[in-house]
């Protein structure tokens, strides 16, 4: 330890004596270590850290598999399907169902649209969490006719009820109905799948009596028993699905089942991007190490005489090597400390720039595991770049060097190959990152050029929901929205206004099967399916959607007129090829269930700019009313300037209604490609940093090479060489190294880009 301490003190003096060299090397290491620690902190928090529930690895999600019916692999299920899995599967301790729930809280200040969930009893026991106050749901409360009870989050308890400890047992008003608060969840509790849930109620009373088998409305979670394995549970669920298919072929034909661990389901959408960013920032660290190794190799030539004298006084090569490694580790530790400070700043920056919907975003931070990772890569980088001068030391002839007076001839010859190899490696790594960034840039440009099928500019959007307890009759819904839209159209700056039940790119999904009049009835579960939405008159003009054929809806399309529908261009191509669909009818097959097609509209990218337009159709809101509608208003100026006026228009109609999700359509469109933009931004920054470091490395090596060949160049000039001849000599040497690096980098990029195929849009990996 005393010898090590002496080595460290001597190494510190050497670093202080060369401030320019020291600052460049430490700054380079701080960039590499800081960026790596920051990205690892994100990957660790999102991908590696277990979910915050006891034995979280046993939490599963269960889905219907509709691939055999040309549907999704992860589809919701029916209340009856949930009961089948719950009652027949023996591999689980708990099987629970959940649905979204968005009640309006009134009587506690301004009305607020809450975001919550309807859950079956046992949900919180499955998650292994108990309320901080009160209790969870009893089985008898998850039955029709039971008392209306709710559990609220700790944040909602503080925000709207002033952390009143006597709230448990009291009643609050939700959707115009009185419900009893029976529990308050603990601080920091996060409900899975339905992110941001603030309130929970039992699910069974909310399920309609007609929603049984085939009515896909619920999601299912489960916890494996300690003795059960994931493979056993998957096999058991498949046998249950096969048995149900035989019993109910009309509703369950070709319906399989999918079992996915909860953690995998939550983080799966971002796993590829995060691992790619971790690899990219690892390349940056390798380039940083190569740069510092170049600096140390060049510096070792100036220390050759010192090292030769120490060897002549009795110091063995291993003793000198330990001294050199101590200096490298000291430099790495200082760079690591600076990098750690940089990492804390970068993590906050990354969280701030992360797109909405990033899983576990609020859990991202520099924890003990990230600190351990920073320490490990600090030591590793110190050994990695410190080994270059040590390797050169073992190849050098120190006795010859001492006799030559420290001219460095032997070291220069043995070190040139190492310097050249490092330059080739830097160039190859930088090129691989640039290729990946270039592909993502082209992909992102293609995404931005995609026509969404509507004009998002100057469009204000907001959600208004009519509670069933307050507006129990269907014939109350459309007149309310019609009157509200008249008020919105009268607002200053509003050019047109309408309403829609499912806004493009807002994450809403609703679909249904249909039949085409005059065509043979399809086999069970093989009828065509279309995404649908209810819209008020003037919707297509307000959204800037193009009508290809037929007409738009008008006020005459009401509950007393014949039912009509407008279909999308994709629907016309698939189901009415080479014919005019206007005038034809679709429906459910009953004599009174046929609906006439009155128009065809251009396709809309409803589910994402990078996804194909689905078969879709639109109904008049007076014929297919929806309690939850998006208000859309095209304005002459900034749409968000009308926020207060819109809230006032709703309050004038009903002061107990809440207006939620107020935003601009341009922002919603931009957020739909937020994950792609975030990934491109980070990879672009890392690629630029890698290129900058590689350029600096090439410059350092060539500068060192020229310095070593000064005498030779002088002789060439004395013999008549021109400036261009010397320039050609030096540049050609550098270009040879870069060309080799480019060749290796291109070959490696071709091999690695196939891993990012899933992130590209309209661009091949080659």
Statement: residue 299 has pLDDT above 80:
no
Predicted confidence at residue 18, as pLDDT, reads 75
Pairing mode, strands 529-535 and 616-620: parallel
Model pLDDT for residues 684-701, shown as the tens digit of each residue: 888 888 888 888 878 877
Q: Which of 621, 642, 633, 643 minimizes the C-alpha distance to 665? A: 633
Output the CA torsion sign for 568, 574, 576, 577: positive
Q: Do residues 257 and 220 touch, judged by C-beta distance below 8 A?
A: no
Q: Give the H or E element holding residue 67.
A: none
Residue 508 has pLDDT above 60, yes or no: yes
DSSP string, 564-613: EEEEEHHHHHHHSTTS--TT-EEESSSTT-EEEEEEEE-----S-TTSPP
When comparing pLDDT for 280 and 511, which is higher? 280
Give the residue, 59 or 523, on which the prediction is more confident: 59
Rounded Cα distance, 727 and 730, in Å: 5
Q: What is the DSSP letter of 101?
A: E
Which helix H or strand E contains 258, and what residues bound it? strand 256-261
Higher per-residue pLDDT: 338 or 107: 338
Q: Is 589 left (phi over 0), alpha (psi -120 to 50) or beta?
A: left
Residue 219 reports pLDDT greater than 60: yes
The pairing of beta strand 59-65 with beta strand 256-261: antiparallel
Q: Band of the pLDDT at 58, cuts 50, 70, 90?
A: very high
Burial (0-12, 13-18, 19+ Cβ within 10 Å), 473: exposed
The CA dihedral of 432, 434, 440, 441, to the nearest 10 degrees, is: -170
pLDDT at 69 over 50: yes
Reduce the secondary structure of 472-539 to three states and give it as a string. CCHHHHHHHHHHHHHHHHCCCCEEEEEEECCCCCCCCCCEEECEECCCCCCCCCCCCEEEEEEECCCH
Report the pLDDT value the prediction gives residue 411, as an integer from 0 to 100. 44
315 burial via Cβ count (<10 Å: 0-12, 13-18, 19+): middle
Question: What integer pLDDT is reported at residue 362 of this predicted model?
Answer: 84
Checking if the pLDDT of 407 tops 70, the result is no
Cα separation, 756 vs 433, whole angstroms? 12
Residue 413 has pLDDT above 60, yes or no: no
Cα dist from 753 to 74, 123, 610, 690, whole Å: 28, 42, 19, 17
Query: What burial class does residue 589 get, using C-beta atoms within 10 Å of its C-beta: 0-12 exposed, 13-18 middle, 19+ buried?
Result: exposed
Token reading at 89: 């599967």
Q: Lowest-confidence range among 12-26, 103-117, 128-142?
A: 12-26
Q: What is the pLDDT of residue 412?
A: 47
Angle at alpha carbon of residue 588, lines to 584 and 591, rounded to 5°: 80
Exposure b/e, 45-67, CB count within 10 A at least 16 = b: bbbebebebeebebbbbbbbbbe
Q: Can you state the angle between helices 317-353 and 2-17, rounded to 10 degrees?
A: 70
Question: Is the pLDDT at 324 greater than 90, yes or no?
Answer: no
The Cα–Cα gap between 445 and 420 comes to 37
Assigned token pair, 304: 């050759």
Whose structure tokens read 């969490």? 129
Mean pLDDT of 49-60: 94
Q: DSSP assignment of 104-138, as one string?
A: EEESSSS-EE--EEEE-TTHHHHHT---SEE----
Give the list of residues 6+ apart from residue 689 with CB closer than 8 angstroms, or none.
31, 35, 284
Write down the pLDDT at residue 67: 85
**Coil, helix or strand at residue 635:** strand
CB-based contacts of 3: which residues, under 8 Å, 6+ apart? none
With cut-offs at 50, 70 and 90, classify the pLDDT of residue 599.
very high
pLDDT at 186: 96
Candidates 269, 382, 286; CA nearest to 15 is 382
- Measured over all CA atoms, what is the biggest interatomic distance in the chain, rounded to whole angstroms? 109
| Res 520 pLDDT > 60 | yes
| pLDDT band for position 214 (cuts 50, 70, 90) | confident
Average pLDDT over residues 337-351: 91
Q: Mean pLDDT over all residues of the chain?
A: 87
Q: What is the DSSP string of 411-435?
A: HHHHHHHHHHHHHHHHHHHHHHHHH
- Burial code (b: 16+ CB inside 10 Å, e: under 16) for 71-102 equals beebbbbbbbbbbbbbeebebbebbbbbbebb
> E strand or H helix at 180, and its extent?
strand 177-184
Q: Is the pTM of this model over 0.85?
A: no
Token pair 């689905």 is at which residue? 614
312: pLDDT strictly greater than 70: no
As a whole number of angstroms, the distance between CA 622 and CA 501 comes to: 12
- Cβ neighbours of residue 168 closer than 8 Å, sequence gap 6 or more: 133, 134, 181, 182, 183, 184
Q: State how far the Cα of 53 lies from the Cα of 360, in Å rounded to an integer.
A: 13
Other beta carbons less than 10 A from residue 256's beta carbon? 19
Q: Give residue-wise pLDDT tens across range 551-569.
A: 999 999 998 999 999 999 9
Give per-residue burial for 623-641: e unless 16+ CB within 10 Å, then b.
Answer: bbbbbebbbbbbbeeebee
Length of the chain: 766
Confidence of residue 142 (pLDDT cuts 50, 70, 90): confident
What is the C-alpha separation between 266 and 195, in angstroms, rounded? 10
DSSP per residue, 314-377:
T--HHHHHHHHHHHHHHHHHHHHHHHHHHHHHHHHHHHHHSPTT-TTGGG-S--HHHHHHHHHH
- pLDDT exceeds 70 at position 761: yes
Per-residue pLDDT band at 521 (split at 50, 70, 90) = confident
Q: Tokens in use for 639?
A: 């749409």
CA angle 418, 424, 426 (to 5 degrees): 100
β-strands 564-568, 547-550: how paired? unpaired
**If you search the block for the tokens 């939405």, which residue do you land on?**
533
The answer on pLDDT for 318 being more than 80 is: no
Closest CA to 42 of 377, 270, 357, 379: 270
């Amino acid at each position: 330890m005393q010898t090590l301490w002496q080595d460290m003190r001597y190494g510190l003096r050497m670093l202080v004596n060369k401030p320019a060299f020291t600052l460049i090397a430490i700054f380079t290491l701080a960039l590499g270590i800081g960026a790596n620690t920051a990205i690892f902190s994100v990957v660790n928090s999102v991908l590696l850290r277990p979910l915050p529930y006891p034995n979280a690895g046993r939490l599963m999600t269960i889905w219907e598999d509709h691939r055999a019916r040309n549907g999704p692999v992860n589809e919701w299920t029916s209340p009856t399907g949930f009961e089948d899995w719950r009652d027949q599967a023996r591999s689980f301790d708990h099987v629970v169902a959940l649905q979204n729930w968005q009640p309006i809280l009134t009587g506690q200040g301004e009305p607020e649209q809450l975001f919550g969930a309807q859950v079956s009893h046992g949900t919180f026991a499955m998650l292994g969490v108990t309320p901080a106050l009160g209790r969870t749901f009893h089985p008898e409360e998850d039955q029709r006719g039971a008392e209306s009870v709710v559990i609220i989050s700790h944040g909602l308890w503080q925000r709207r009820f002033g952390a009143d400890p006597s709230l448990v047992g009291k009643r609050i008003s939700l959707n115009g109905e009185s419900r009893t608060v029976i529990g308050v969840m603990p601080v920091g509790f996060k409900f899975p799948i339905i992110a941001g849930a603030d309130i929970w109620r039992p699910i069974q009373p909310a399920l309609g009596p007609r929603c049984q088998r085939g009515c896909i409305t619920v999601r299912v979670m489960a916890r494996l028993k300690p003795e059960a394995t994931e493979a056993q549970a998957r096999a058991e669920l498949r046998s249950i699905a096969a048995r149900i298919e035989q019993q109910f072929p009309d509703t369950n034909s070709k319906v399989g089942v999918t079992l996915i661990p909860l953690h995998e389901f939550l983080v799966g959408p971002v796993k590829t991007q995060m691992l790619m960013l971790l690899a990219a920032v690892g390349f940056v660290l390798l380039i940083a190490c190569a740069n510092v190794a170049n600096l140390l190799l060049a510096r070792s030539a100036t220390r050759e005489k010192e090292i030769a004298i120490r060897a002549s006084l009795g110091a063995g090569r291993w003793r000198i090597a330990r001294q050199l490694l101590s200096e490298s580790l000291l430099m790495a530790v200082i760079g690591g400390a600076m990098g750690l400070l940089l990492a804390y700043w970068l993590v906050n920056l990354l969280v701030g720039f992360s797109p909405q919907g990033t899983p576990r975003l609020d859990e991202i931070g520099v924890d003990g595991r990230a600190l351990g990772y920073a320490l490990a890569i600090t030591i590793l980088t110190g050994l990695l770049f410190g080994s270059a001068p040590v390797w050169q030391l073992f190849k050098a002839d120190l006795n010859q060097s001492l006799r030559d007076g420290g001219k460095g001839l032997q070291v220069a010859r043995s070190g040139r190959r190492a310097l050249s190899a490092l330059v080739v490696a830097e160039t190859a790594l930088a090129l691989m990152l640039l290729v990946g960034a270039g592909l993502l840039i082209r992909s992102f440009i293609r995404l931005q050029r995609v026509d969404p099928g509507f004009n998002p500019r100057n469009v204000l959007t907001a959600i208004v929901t009519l509670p069933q307890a307050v507006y129990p009759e269907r014939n109350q819904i459309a007149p309310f929205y019609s009157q509200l839209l008249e008020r919105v159209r009268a607002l200053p700056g509003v050019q047109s206004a309408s309403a829609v039940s499912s806004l493009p790119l807002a994450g809403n999904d609703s679909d249904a099967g249909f039949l085409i009049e005059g065509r043979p009835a399809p086999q069970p579960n093989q009828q065509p399916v279309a995404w649908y939405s209810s819209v008020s008159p003037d919707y297509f003009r307000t959204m800037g959607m193009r009508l290809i054929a037929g007409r738009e809806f008008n006020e005459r399309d009401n509950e007393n007129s014949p039912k009509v529908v407008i279909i999308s261009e994709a629907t016309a191509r698939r189901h009415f090829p080479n014919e005019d669909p206007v005038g034809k009818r679709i429906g459910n097959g009953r004599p009174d269930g046929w609906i006439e097609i009155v128009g065809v509209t251009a396709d809309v990218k409803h589910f994402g700019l990078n996804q194909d337009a689905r078969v879709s159709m639109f109904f008049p809101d007076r014929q297919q009313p929806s309690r939850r509608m998006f208000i859309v208003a095209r304005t002459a100026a900034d749409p968000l300037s009308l926020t207060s006026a819109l809230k006032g228009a709703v309050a004038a109609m009903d002061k107990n209604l809440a207006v939620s999700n107020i935003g601009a359509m341009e922002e919603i469109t931009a957020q739909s490609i937020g994950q792609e933009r975030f990934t491109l931004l980070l990879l672009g920054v890392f690629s630029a940093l890698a290129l900058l470091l590689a350029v600096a490395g090439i410059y350092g090596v060539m500068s060192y090479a020229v310095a070593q060949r000064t005498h030779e160049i002088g002789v060439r000039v004395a013999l008549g060489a021109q400036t261009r001849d010397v320039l050609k000599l030096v540049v050609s040497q550098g270009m040879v190294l870069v060309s080799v690096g480019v060749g290796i980098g291109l070959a490696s990029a071709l091999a690695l880009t196939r891993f990012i195929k899933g992130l590209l849009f309209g661009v091949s990996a080659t």
